[in-house]
Amino acid sequence: MAEPAATRRLEELGAEAEAAVSAAGDLDELEAVRVRYLGRRSELTAILRSIRDLPPEERGAVGQAANAVRSRLDELVAARETDLEVAELEARLERDRVDVTLPGDPPLPAGHLHLVTEIRRELEDVFVGLGYQVLEGPEIEYEYYNFTALNHPPSHPARAPQDTFYVSDTVVLRTHTSPMQVRAMEAQEPPIHVVVPGRVYRPDTPDATHVPMFHQLEGLAIDADITLADLQGTLREFARAMFGPSEEVRLRPGYFPFTEPSVEVDVSCFVCEGTGAAGRERCSTCKGEGWIEILGAGMVDPNVLAYVSDSGYDPERVQGFAFGMGIERIAMLKHGVPDLRMLWENDVRLLEQFGA
């Protein structure tokens, strides 16, 4: 029996479709090929539909051949589809490859310490080097520690609400770090060598040299035979560590209720080296004085020791010195900051100039 024309056409069609399937370069092209050779309007579908019009003796062979071509093409399309999917995935993975050895995003610049914190730490280091212990104390303080046990009589003007923030009748925001002298001695028998950094508060209107919150560093040394000369030597060491190796210190008479005698302490001007002159002008840092006032100090008043005699501070047997300095003031002097308020305005153009 001669091969029917339809069967021959099917062979051609099959070969043509197979070639088209292998040639399809991506899934879209493959879909187009599938529609063209297997879709509802494809020649193959037309042939399958026309089988019933063929003479009965041809129907079987043509039907078989057509179905064979269709299932073979179905298989080829499915296989090609898998191949193309794999290839596309691989191509995408290749494209998206991340080089994990590349440096990452640059780290955000780390912040740094505020100038006042930096100076506080420098001061702590200096005094730790001299054998002092660093303590901190409450900023909200009893009037007793802030004034009474520091030998302020009840009528002392510093107690007035113009000069002190009162939280209640007996509680204040500490106006200085000196209350920690008493607290430290209550907690620890002599000998004692402590420094106490921290915030203090005073109802001042802000100007170039005043803000209502600032920082002090208190010092206290009590032992059997401490003298004013020890205070001077200690402060000279501090001045040399903070301002320069040839610093001198000068004690002038002063007054504080809780020290006797009391002194105001100056350091030689580290800008003009004590000469008071800047070329033919006067030195602007020390205003031509050659000396810069830096802190208050004195020998601890026996009346203060009497408040802590229960902890072993017998004024007949021990004595010592205390000092208190403003940390902002030291920061400003050291770095030429002209206005105290600048330290608390948080302008990064200023802050970024300092700090480790």
Which residues are at the interface with ligand PHE (CB under 6 A)? 176, 178, 218, 256, 259, 296-298, 322-324
Which H or E element spans position 31?
helix 27-38
d(CA 292, CA 249): 9
Which H or E element spans position 267?
strand 259-268
Of 198 and 324, the one with the shorter C-beta distance to ligand PHE is 324
d(CA 26, CA 157): 93
The two tokens of residue 221 are 């040394």
Of 30 and 235, the one with the shorter C-beta distance to ligand PHE is 235
To the nearest whole angstrom, how small is the minimum distance from the Cβ of residue 216 to ligand PHE?
A: 6
The C-alpha angle 199, 205, 211, rounded to 5 degrees, equals: 30
d(CA 356, CA 353): 10
Of 176 and 183, the one with the shorter C-beta distance to ligand PHE is 176
Of 190 and 324, the one with the shorter C-beta distance to ligand PHE is 324
Q: 299 forms bridges with which residues in the sheet?
A: 321
To the nearest whole angstrom, how small is the minimum distance from the Cβ of residue 195 to ligand PHE?
A: 11
Q: What interhelical angle do 5-23 and 27-38 show, nearest 10?
A: 170
> Which residue minimizes CB distance to ligand PHE?
324
Of 113 and 158, the one with the shorter C-beta distance to ligand PHE is 158
What count of other Cβ atoms lies within 10 Å of the Cβ of residue 196? Answer: 23
The answer to whether the beta carbons of residues 270 and 240 sit under 8 Å apart is no
To the nearest whole angstrom, how small is the minimum distance from the Cβ of residue 267 to ligand PHE?
A: 16
To the nearest whole angstrom, how small is the minimum distance from the Cβ of residue 104 to ligand PHE?
A: 50
To the nearest whole angstrom, how small is the minimum distance from the Cβ of residue 297 to ligand PHE?
A: 5
Of 20 and 304, the one with the shorter C-beta distance to ligand PHE is 304
To the nearest whole angstrom, how small is the minimum distance from the Cβ of residue 218 to ligand PHE?
A: 6
